[in-house]
């Protein structure tokens, strides 16, 4: 059966929060962990952090959890992991991200975040690989997300749902991350729809309106996480300088390779940050 037919989120009459609650029940049953405290979405380059955070108590294919889509892309791992930290906290690792550019709608994009909230997680750590605009940055550098510009034209909120986004990327959690690594810079994340990388003109526009990081994921997820009442920490790995800032063409291969090269350093940083949460 095709994924388009058997995903309950594709039924417009279904309640996405009920489906997230079902997914959370699946996770509890399949991992044997009733509640999770912290959830992490690991984007390009961040995958190795899972091993350093604590002991993995269960790994489950995302396809066994209600509403999760099949991984769209090689290099994006389609699994969920439950990890117990040395402090005894349960961390849900989401290695299965659905991007808006896949065209399955925003409900599917934010399902993992809503599911994480339904498992009990109060803290959502969103990571990604992204293009850098600030000239002082270089590929391989992790940065904190301080705010975002949602340029997708989409929202995970349905109906007249007015949500405050003033401290969307928690100042408290950014301070905490900086207590681990004082050299961490921060910037405003611009989410474009993709999947094409930006034109140099689009990057200039992003810079002019206050953007420092360009990517194709986190903003929509952060809005859904805030709607669910979670505190959010956002981190980008600068995998490349944004189009026009770097003069060479961008390639997915370059993004993957920069992620792999930076992985040991950013994985240990993220593990230390999670340990401090
Ligand atoms: N733009 C958008 N998304 C990205 C980039 C970029 O330059 N690099 C990695 N993901």
Q: What is the mean pLDDT of the chain?
A: 92
Q: Which residues are catalytic, by number?
A: 198
Q: Strands 213-215 and 186-191: what pairing?
A: parallel
Separation of 103 CA from ligand 1 center, angstroms? 18
Query: How sure is the predictor about 95, in pLDDT bands with cuts at 50, 70 and 90?
Result: confident
Q: What is the predicted pLDDT for the residue at 1?
A: 42
The residue whose CA is least distant from atom 9 of ligand 1 is: 130
Does 124 have pLDDT greater than 80? yes
Q: Is 125 in the pocket of ligand 1 (CB under 6 A)?
A: no
Separation of 130 CA from ligand 1 center, angstroms? 4
Q: Which of 137, 202, 242 to mutate to test the pocket of ligand 1 (most atoms within 8 A of CB)?
A: 242
Q: Is 177 in the pocket of ligand 1 (CB under 6 A)?
A: no
Q: What is the predicted pLDDT for the residue at 5?
A: 52
Pull the structure tokens for residue 43: 């984007």
Contact 123, 112 (CB under 8 A): no
Separation of 197 CA from ligand 1 center, angstroms? 6
Which tens digit of pLDDT belongs to each residue from 169-178? 999 999 999 9
Does 182 have pLDDT greater than 80? yes
What is the separation of C-alpha 275 from the centre of its chain, rounded to a whole number of angstroms?
Answer: 18
* pTM of this structure: 0.94
Query: How buried is 8 (Cβ within 10 angstroms: 0-12 exposed, 13-18 middle, 19+ buried)?
Result: middle
The residue whose CA is least distant from atom 3 of ligand 1 is: 215
Q: In sequence order, what E strands does 74-208 have?
A: 79-84, 90-94, 123-132, 141-150, 186-191
The residue whose CA is least distant from atom 10 of ligand 1 is: 130
Lowest model confidence (mean pLDDT) among 42-56, 165-179, 195-209? 42-56
Taken in order of first residue, the domains within the chain and their CATH numbers are: 8-276 (3.40.50.1580)
Separation of 128 CA from ligand 1 center, angstroms? 9
pLDDT (mean) for 80-104: 93
Query: How sure is the predictor about 76, in pLDDT bands with cuts at 50, 70 and 90?
Result: low
């Amino acid at each position: 059966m095709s994924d388009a037919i058997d995903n309950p989120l594709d039924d417009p009459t279904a309640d996405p929060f009920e489906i997230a609650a079902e997914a959370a029940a699946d996770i509890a049953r399949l991992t044997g962990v009733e509640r999770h405290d912290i959830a992490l979405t690991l984007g390009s380059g961040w995958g190795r952090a899972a091993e350093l955070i604590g002991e993995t108590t269960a790994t489950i294919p995302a396809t066994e959890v209600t509403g999760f889509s099949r991984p769209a892309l090689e290099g994006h791992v389609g699994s969920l992991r439950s990890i117990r930290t040395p402090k005894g906290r349960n961390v849900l690792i989401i290695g299965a991200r659905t991007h808006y550019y896949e065209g399955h709608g925003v409900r599917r994009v934010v399902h993992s975040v809503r599911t994480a909230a339904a498992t009990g997680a109060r803290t959502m750590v969103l990571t990604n690989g992204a293009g850098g605009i600030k000239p002082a940055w270089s590929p391989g550098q992790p940065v904190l997300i301080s705010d975002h510009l949602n340029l997708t034209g989409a929202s995970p909120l349905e109906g007249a749902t007015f949500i405050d986004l003033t401290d969307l990327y928690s100042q408290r959690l950014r301070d905490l991350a900086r207590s681990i690594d004082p050299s961490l810079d921060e910037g405003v994340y611009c989410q474009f729809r993709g999947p094409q990388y930006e034109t140099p003109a689009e990057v200039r526009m992003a810079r002019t309106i206050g953007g420092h990081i360009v990517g194709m994921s986190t903003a929509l997820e952060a809005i859904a996480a805030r709607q669910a009442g979670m505190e959010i920490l956002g981190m980008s790995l600068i995998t490349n300088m944004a189009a026009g800032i770097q003069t060479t063409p961008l390639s997915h291969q370059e993004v993957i390779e920069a992620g792999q090269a930076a992985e040991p350093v950013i994985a240990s940083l993220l593990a230390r940050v999670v340990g401090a949460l």
